[in-house]
Amino acid sequence: MENLLQGLRAAGEETRLRLLVLCGHSELTVSELTQILGQSQPRVSRHLKLLCEAGLLDRYQEGSWVYYRLSAKSEAALLARTLVDLVPETDATVSRDLERLEAVKKARTIAAEEYFRENAAHWRQIRSLHVPEEAVEAALLELMGSTEITDFLDIGTGTGRMLELFGPTVAHAIGVDTSREMLSFARTAIDDAGLRNCQVRLADMYNLPFASQSQDAIVIHQVLHYAEDPAAAIREAARLLRPGGLLAVVDFAPHELDSLCTDHAHLHKGFSENAVWRICEEAGLQSKDFRVLEGSPLNVNIWTAAPAVRRQSKGAIAS
């Protein structure tokens, strides 16, 4: 009862309700919210603090930036979403706020597209060497289709494509990356797709800011060949998997294309089937499925693994 009352008290003020609506549509920084509302930064920050303390908003640090988003998992998350849905978007003030939000999102898109244009030639060159991404995505959906997913994590999310792919079928999805430019692109992509249950975060794949056994499914898609320590990345993913969860690793099979290392910063020239299985076993995972998608000249491998089931010894059975 007290948590509900605290949430209602926090939301019961015009500016704070406007902030809730805006953060229900997109992750936004204080400066972006200040720009939209036309109010001073100290005032907006005070309102945001109250909303966070009431559990209606989540606050995330991304380098020197702080993003705010409607709460997804707190006790007040349902109240926050209900309040946002109850506010009519035809209201003159709210309508004006949302128009300004679109201008902010458009500016983000322009910046993200500029970054994408600068790097698109490299990505297109790599894609031309292997099976089309549509085939990879179809195989991933098939391999992971039998897993009931509430919490989904995409490690090395890049453009956020895995969030777009799995987001419509899961309750909560988070993509992490070390590149703020890629996160900006991914944030724009999930906003445009209307995936309010998806988020992106700045995070290191060797030290992820999530509790152990907090994820039902994890994807590491075309990331391991950049990793200095692939085994450490998989160990960290294994730490996060719940019993019955599933890890999917997508990467190249062994190849001899030196240009991917010299021109595209790849640290590994693909991985054999057994190499990844050994890493998974050392991380406490057991093999599930393996698939090869043949390309020219690059093959794409997909491994899926789950937390190993520990067998209870006979001596542990109580008499």
pLDDT at 65: 82
- Say whether pLDDT at 88 is over 60: yes
- Say whether pLDDT at 84 is over 70: yes
Provide the CB-side half-sphere exposure for 237 (13 A, CA): 34
pLDDT at 319: 33
| Top-level class of domain 2-102 | mainly alpha
- Say whether pLDDT at 229 is over 50: yes
pLDDT at 238: 98
Read off the pLDDT of each residue in 94-106 and give the average, rounded to a whole number: 91
If one compares 62 and 194, the residue with the highest pLDDT of the two is: 194
If one compares 118 and 157, the residue with the highest pLDDT of the two is: 157
The three state secondary structure string of 265-309 is: CCCCCCCCHHHHHHHHHHCCEEEEEEEEECCCCECEEEEEEEECC
- Say whether pLDDT at 297 is over 80: yes
Phi and psi at residue 104, to the nearest 5°: -65, -45
Say how many Å lie between the first and final Cα of the chain, rounded: 45
Matching fold, domains 2-102 and 129-307: no
Task: Choose which CATH entry (3.40.50.150, 3.40.50.2300, 3.30.390.10, 3.40.50.300) describes domain 129-307.
Answer: 3.40.50.150
Q: Are 10 and 53 in contact (CB under 8 A)?
A: yes
pTM of the entire predicted model = 0.81
For residue range 15-68, what is the model confidence (pLDDT) as tens digits?
999 999 999 998 999 999 999 999 999 999 999 999 999 999 999 887 778 899
Read off the pLDDT of each residue in 142-159 and give the average, rounded to a whole number: 92
For residue range 260-287, what is the model confidence (pLDDT) as tens digits?
888 878 899 999 999 999 999 999 999 9
Picking from 22, 33, 169, the residue whose alpha carbon sits closest to that of residue 83 is 22
- Say whether pLDDT at 95 is over 90: yes
- Say whether pLDDT at 317 is over 70: no
N residues, the chain: 319
d(CA 254, CA 126): 15
Sign of CA dihedral 152, 155, 159, 165: negative
Q: Are 265 and 222 in contact (CB under 8 A)?
A: no
Picking from 293, 236, 301, 246, the residue whose alpha carbon sits closest to that of residue 269 is 301
Average pLDDT of the chain is: 89
Residue in the structure block whose two tokens are 């969030």? 163
Delimit the domains of the chain by residue range. 2-102, 129-307
% the chain with pLDDT above 70: 91
Q: Which residue type occupies 269? A: K
Read off the pLDDT of each residue in 216-229 and give the average, rounded to a whole number: 95
